[in-house]
Amino acid sequence: MEKSSSYHHGNLRQTLLDIACKHIRDKGVDGLSLRAIAKEAGVSANAPYRHFSDKRSLLIAIAVVGFQELVERMELVEQRANGILEEFKLKGKAYVQFAGDSPEKYKLMFGPAIGDRLEDPDLMRAAGFSYEMLLRSIRKGIEQGVFRDVPVQDLADPTWAMVHGISSLLIDGFFEKDAQVFREQTLECPITGGCSLETLLENNLNLIMHGILA
């Protein structure tokens, strides 16, 4: 019989997702086990299968939640931004901040662990909604005459590639002072001297905006 002390009725799915994220953060995707998650949640070994058919289904669910959370952050930026230029920059910063806050979700959203994403319509739909947040800002900028009047995709793709690249550097530890690649004393670190994550992100966003302004 399942124990009910560790979660509220109807909230087991979210509990399992939260525990799974913690396990991925601690042990990686290969160390993820539905049985171990069930044990920590205080439920039977079969309970997770009522919500996730297998491990891949669980990984997809985590990625979908990640895209949804990213969209929520972008929507919050739209509500608070003062003008399209501020909105564009704040969305870029919010994107990278999300990756830093939820690296285990981010890696599933864009990494190879899930496999063929085209097989899952929910995942593709969630990913599409998140990308639409970038497209929406660029369309707005074009309509206002602030951004260059070119196909939206021509401006969106390099913008996404830039923030994704910085996000990947962040979650891979590139900005840590003791980054593995620079531990040898004979190799001078090229990001010393004030080139922090914030500086790099700000400079790249300014460069991108300079390139897309009308």
Q: Specify the pTM.
A: 0.84
Query: Domain check: are 3 and 78 in the same one?
Result: no
85 and 19 fall within a common domain: no
Residues 66 and 41 in one domain: no
Residues 44 and 115 in one domain: no
Same-domain pairing of 61 and 37? no
Q: pLDDT tens string for the chain (214 positions)?
A: 344 444 444 689 999 999 999 999 998 899 899 999 999 999 999 999 999 999 999 999 999 999 999 999 999 999 999 999 999 999 999 999 999 999 999 999 999 999 888 889 999 999 999 999 999 999 999 999 999 999 999 999 999 999 999 999 889 888 776 544 443 444 455 554 445 788 888 888 988 988 899 8
Amino acid of residue 201? L
Task: Based on the fold, state whether residues 25 and 127 are members of the same structural domain.
Answer: no
Answer yes or no: do 115 and 169 share one domain.
yes
Answer yes or no: do 81 and 47 share one domain: no
141 and 40 housed in the same domain? no
Same domain membership, residue 128 and residue 43? no
Structural domain harbouring 175: 56-212
**Can you tell me the distance from the alpha carbon of 11 to that of 17, in angstroms, rounded to the nearest whole number?**
10
